[in-house]
């Protein structure tokens, strides 16, 4: 492929910053957006006019539209849109602050909505492009105690992206949802606030928080490798609808899919019996331990 133009949100650190560098190393140009674009001064010094740091708060629709207009004004097009901005705070659902939950959703889901919507007219007019949604393996399997808002938003991003792919395929737009497991970024560090965990939730939220999120061992995933994989994948003629990244992501996704298939199969006759014309009633499947 010829030189491409990337538009990346949440570019000042972590995977977003690694993506900026990987795209530039591949010879492309990048509009690197962040709440604090000055954090990319060293990247701009090294790569010059091939990178354009830009201030963007993804929770503001008008700001997203202005940023997209600025990107097109600078480089003439957008070939790859990466919705990377996101964060998680920790709290049990029962004691979570409603405003904090909504604020997380504003970034993790509505930010994706605003930026994607702003970029779609550009992608449609130019006859194609690639939308990369940085999600999480938790957005596929769920069930991680303490981060309900984050995982709910990632599930929403996945549903949004499936519809987006169906609606925009005739325009030549490709959509890829990236689902990493734990990576060595500050997602579970400076970016995460851990709220008070009541004693009743110590064995769920507290235990997972200590064992995984606050572990001194660190995460297994290398953000630079992940970024390079994404850049290489985007340059293909075809991209996967979902790209798992990391050993844990692959393991968790495969185990989840097997459980889903087994459950759907076990309940198949019951599920079918809800329709007119199907045999009814039918026996429920035996519970565990029944002969």
The residues carrying an active-site annotation are 135, 150, 154
- H or E stretch at 259: helix 247-266
- Per DSSP, 221 falls in state B
Q: Give the pairing of strands 5-8 and 80-83.
A: parallel
SS3 call for 116: helix
| Cα 34 to Cα 242: distance, rounded to the nearest angstrom | 25
| Contact between 56 and 9 (Cβ < 8 Å) | yes
| Cα 184 to Cα 190: distance, rounded to the nearest angstrom | 12
Phi, psi (degrees; rounded to nearest 5) at 276: -55, 145
Closest residue by Cα to residue 81 from 145, 37, 31: 31
| Contact between 113 and 59 (Cβ < 8 Å) | no
User: What order do you get walking across the sheet with 80-83 strand by strand?
Assistant: 51-55, 29-34, 5-8, 80-83, 129-134, 173-180, 242-245
């Amino acid at each position: 492929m010829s030189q491409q133009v990337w538009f990346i949100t949440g570019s000042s650190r972590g995977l977003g910053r690694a993506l900026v560098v990987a795209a530039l190393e591949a010879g492309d140009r990048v509009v690197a957006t962040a709440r604090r674009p000055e954090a990319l001064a060293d990247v701009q010094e090294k790569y010059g006019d091939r990178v354009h740091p830009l201030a963007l708060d993804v929770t503001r629709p008008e700001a997203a539209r202005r940023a997209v207009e600025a990107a097109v004004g600078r480089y003439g097009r957008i070939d790859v849109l990466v919705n990377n901005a996101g964060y998680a705070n920790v709290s049990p659902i029962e004691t979570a602050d409603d405003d904090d939950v909504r604020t997380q959703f504003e970034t993790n889901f509505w930010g994706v909505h605003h930026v994607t919507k702003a970029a779609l007219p550009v992608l449609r007019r130019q006859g194609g492009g690639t939308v990369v949604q940085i999600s999480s393996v938790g957005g596929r399997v769920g069930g991680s105690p303490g981060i309900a808002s984050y995982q709910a938003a990632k599930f929403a991003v996945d549903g949004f992206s499936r519809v987006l792919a169906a609606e925009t395929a005739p325009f030549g737009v490709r959509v890829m949802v990236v689902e990493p497991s734990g990576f060595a970024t500050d997602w579970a560090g400076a970016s995460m606030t851990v709220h008070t965990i009541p004693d009743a939730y110590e064995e769920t939220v507290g235990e997972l928080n200590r064992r995984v999120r606050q572990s001194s061992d660190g995460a297994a995933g290398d953000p630079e490798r992940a970024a390079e994989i994404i850049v290489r994948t985007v340059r293909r003629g075809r991209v996967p609808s979902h790209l798992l990244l990391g050993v844990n992501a692959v393991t968790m996704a495969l185990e989840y899919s097997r459980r889903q298939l087994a459950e759907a199969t076990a309940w198949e006759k019951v599920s079918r019996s809800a329709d007119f014309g199907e045999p009814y009633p039918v026996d429920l499947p035996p519970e565990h331990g029944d002969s």
